[in-house]
Structure 1
Amino acid sequence: MSYNTQEISAAAGQPVELYRFVLGQQVWTVTSGREAITYQVESYQPAVIRRSAVEQSPEFARNGIDLECARDFAVAQLFAAARPNGVVSLTVFRNHLGDSEYITWWKGRVASVAFAGSTAKIRCESIFTALKRPGLRAHYQTGCRHALFDPGCGVNNQAYKLAGTVASFSGLNVTSSTFLSQASGWLTGGYLRVAGVPRMITNHSGDTITLSAVLPGLAVGVAFEAFAGCDRTFATCQSKFGNSLNFGGFPWIPAKNPFAGDSIV
């Protein structure tokens, strides 16, 4: 019996949904069914999760879904301390028990998570909401408009990486002798990555760095990768990265406004 036949039947339908969350290289797969399901080589484990109905509307913002789950659900915990650095995408597959046909029923991303008691509500917005967002535009500014290591920048992050292990940490401060291999400030504005999850480095002094938010999985002895930072100035782009040809700013903008009404000489 096909999926459509069971879906429109009066009593034969036994729907089961598979939820696939992705953040970078991390993947979480759960199912609303009672037993584990293998689909496309991945194993979906049973989880207590409840989904809201989907409203069919021409307004993309109203086509989202809410998921209610346990507070300690791994995806919800990504938002416990701060928003993760990256987009958590969600794909919902659907089929009926006894049928091998699956359909991609919904696709979008996690917009926010609200905690209440022992539960968490994961608000997800449809992938089509991205169609209403304006694209980024270049600005006439003195600082570089590119993000470090992105395609516009063109610098290879592997050439500006430090690899080591955590010696100690307290709050947002992380200590490692690896950080001493570069002068203080070299990592400021860069990021620390542990198990594929990055956090921005707001300060680098000696063997200690300060992160912008709590980093899940951080522990003594854990391996990390730390990447250099950039202050978006032409001088740093030229001296630190040798990348002045790709500098995305306009460093010689006149400091004097010719339309201010006073003399420019």
Structure 2
Amino acid sequence: MNRLPAALESHLSADVTTHCFCWVIRRADGIIHGFTDHDQVLMIDGVACEPQTGLTASEATSALGLAVDSAEVEGALSSLSITEKDVEAGAFDNASVETFLVNWTAPDQRILLRRSRIGTVTRSGSHFVAELKSSAVDLDKVKGRRITRLCGAQLGDARCGYRGGAQKGTIVRVISDRALVVSGLHAHDVNWFCNGLLTWQSGRSTVVIGHQQSAEGIRLDLRDGPVPDMQTGDAFSLLPGCDKSFATCKVKFANAANFRGFPHLPGNDAAYNYADGTGNFDGGALVS
């Protein structure tokens, strides 16, 4: 529970108040942004909060317990410090956001209402909405191994053991913000790169949802877009696609010995087969 400073509490209990909200955004790359819904610059912990940026916040809820508190902050790309390129490049992903209630006539009278992290960022034209999540979201992260039929490793990591590596490619032609023709890749079959992870030289990654051979090279369809500044000649690396099933690990990668799932674990389908009498329960393997 936040305890109001005495001066701020006295001010808020008066008949007329002069308070506003300020947001301090601290990105993972060390860049700090400050914004306020007041009409003048306010200094918060040495950060200049820009006025009239079009930034507004939804109602925020807080509750006892381990539930994840959430809110949203939205606005226009009107500030010179927030560019469309940075938003699309994911520069604000997982950035921390500090929300302050401030008496704008005396900025020292303020209180930190909440500290959140930016989750999903969506945009339409010059308008964006950023989802804010409390620190309780860390409690939802999976720790350790889970007993599932699918593999729990990432393709190519130490637990997976696949040594095929990523292939290097170059853009030949940009079809749209989610489709491009590339060269330099060798596909072993028609579905080789489906679900594969494509990583640009900037470090940003996306998933390939489809590919097909063309006269110019290989066409790749991307799950996420638009990709900022995607141009002919840009280089990238691409891992083959893996759906984490035992069949794919065995047939596509010949890596069944390193499979990190539990493919022989009976599921609900096995229980239903037992009920209707169509299943074969002779003690043999359920997955070959």
| TM-score bin (small chain) | 0.5 to 0.7
Given that 1:155 and 1:243 are in contact with CA atoms closer than 8 Å, whether structure 2 keeps it comes out as no
**Inter-partner Cα distance in structure 2 for 1:57 and 1:263:** 48
Given that 1:187 and 1:227 are in contact with CA atoms closer than 8 Å, whether structure 2 keeps it comes out as yes
What SS does structure 1 have at the residue aligned with 2:119? strand
TM-score (norm 1): 0.64
Aligned partner of 2:244 among 232, 253, 261: 232
Deviations 1:49-108 (A, max 9, x none): 3335644432666843321210575579858xxxx99x9323124788998xx9795023
TM-score (norm 2): 0.60
Match runs of 1:153-168 below 5 Å: 153-155=159-161, 160-168=165-173
Instruction: Look up the match of 1:212.
Output: 223
Aligned-pair CA distance for 1:188: 1.8
Aligned-pair CA distance for 1:137: 4.0
Instruction: Look up the match of 1:260.
Output: 276
Work out whether 1:170 is the aligned partner of 2:186: no
What SS does structure 1 have at the residue aligned with 2:130? strand
**Inter-partner Cα distance in structure 2 for 1:114 and 1:173:** 20
What SS does structure 1 have at the residue aligned with 2:276? coil
Whose radius of gyration is greater, 1 or 2? 2
* Structure 1 segments unaligned to the other structure (5+ residues): none
Instruction: Look up the match of 1:90.
Output: 95
**Inter-partner Cα distance in structure 1 for 2:140 and 2:258:** 33
Change beyond 3 A, Cα 1:155–1:103: farther
Instruction: Look up the match of 1:245.
Output: 258
Aligned-pair CA distance for 1:187: 1.6
Match runs of 1:96-111 below 5 Å: 105-111=114-120
Match runs of 1:1-265 below 5 Å: 10=11, 17-22=23-28, 29-32=32-35, 46=50, 48-52=54-58, 54-58=60-64, 63-71=69-77, 73-74=82-83, 88-93=93-98, 105-111=114-120, 113=122, 119-131=127-139, 137-139=146-148, 141=149, 144-146=150-152, 148-149=154-155, 153-155=159-161, 160-171=165-176, 172-180=178-186, 182-184=187-189, 185-194=191-200, 195-206=202-213, 207-217=218-228, 218-238=230-250, 240=253, 242=255, 244-250=257-263, 257-261=273-277, 264=280
* Structure 2 segments unaligned to the other structure (5+ residues): 12-16, 283-288
State the superposition RMSD in angstroms: 5.0
**Inter-partner Cα distance in structure 2 for 1:252 and 1:18:** 48
**Inter-partner Cα distance in structure 2 for 1:19 and 1:263:** 57
Change beyond 3 A, Cα 1:240–1:45: farther
**Inter-partner Cα distance in structure 2 for 1:114 and 1:225:** 27
Aligned residue pairs: how many? 246
Given that 1:32 and 1:49 are in contact with CA atoms closer than 8 Å, whether structure 2 keeps it comes out as yes
Change beyond 3 A, Cα 1:193–1:146: same
Deviations 1:180-236 (A, max 9, x none): 3x4243222212122222221122334222222324222222221211112434354
